[in-house]
Amino acid sequence: MNVKLTFGIIFGLLLANIANAQFNADSTVFTDVRDGHAYPVAKIKGKLWTAQNLRLEKLDGKIIGRTMQRVDGRVYNQAEAKQVCLNGWHLPSDAEWQTLIMPSKYLISKDWEKIRVETTYGRKHEGSSGIRVTYDRRGNAYYDTVQIGIDKYGFNALWGYYYYGENMTQIQGAVFWSSTFGGKEAPKGGSPFAFVIKEKESTYTMQHFADEEYSVRCITEPK
């Protein structure tokens, strides 16, 4: 057998083993061998979730996704989202996202409110625990009592601006693609579901257009 071919096969198997070696119940981080980025891992209700939005820029030599101002990581359309999870992981189904339906405070990072206030109002967060201080465009302060994120599971959701629909409606929060399609009114038998986290609300899923761009988290079973 050709020496170069043999080396290539062995090297490919080693990469696969390195990747799979990361996916066990005791992992707190894994490294994507495709680009070297390390992702923290959260164990939630018996499943392992990436605890950071995916950042992969190239797949099979092609640029995928894009960066969006005020959103952590990269955003992808639904077709791209279904391809970006590393071998052994997958894009969560709507049913898997449904297991995270809970008060949003349990999933949002402690930095959520700081990012929201500084991004929206251009001023630093000055509130004590449970008190938010924000400012209008004239610099006048007003107060809102909220529950700051406690991130019970280490999911680390971060606040951002997302846009959806033909009229580019704004969602302020965090939005993640699922692999599930549903409904009959959209082309090809339905439109995909996405998981939404907004402050002061419970989390929920809703349908979106497949060409919109949202964040991606991946899920796997502990080995």
For residues 175 and 117, state if they share a domain.
no
For residues 88 and 178, state if they share a domain.
yes
Q: For residue 134, what are the domain limits?
A: 112-145
For residues 67 and 176, state if they share a domain.
yes
Model confidence at 14: pLDDT above 50:
no
The structural domain count of the chain equals 2
pLDDT tens digits for range 15-68? 433 343 344 445 588 899 999 999 999 999 999 999 999 999 999 999 999 998
pLDDT tens digits for range 84-104? 998 899 999 999 999 999 989
- Model confidence at 138, pLDDT cuts 50, 70, 90, reads low
Structure tokens at 152: 């019970």
3-state secondary structure of 12: helix
Amino acid letter for position 73? G
- Model confidence at 182, pLDDT cuts 50, 70, 90, reads confident
Alpha-helical regions (H) of 61-191: 78-81, 94-98, 112-121
The pLDDT score that the predictor gives to residue 23 is 45
Structure tokens at 69: 């101002």
For residues 44 and 90, state if they share a domain.
yes
For residues 135 and 197, state if they share a domain.
no
Structure tokens at 58: 């190239």
The pLDDT score that the predictor gives to residue 170 is 79
User: What is the pTM (predicted TM-score) of this model?
Assistant: 0.78
The pLDDT score that the predictor gives to residue 172 is 84
Q: Whole-angstrom Cα distance, residue 93 to residue 124?
A: 37
Q: Whole-angstrom Cα distance, residue 54 to residue 33?
A: 13
For residues 134 and 170, state if they share a domain.
no
Give the other-Cβ count within 10 Å of 141's Cβ.
11
Q: What is the 3 state secondary structure string of 155-179? A: CCECCEEEEECCCCEEEEEEEEEEE
For residues 186 and 138, state if they share a domain.
no
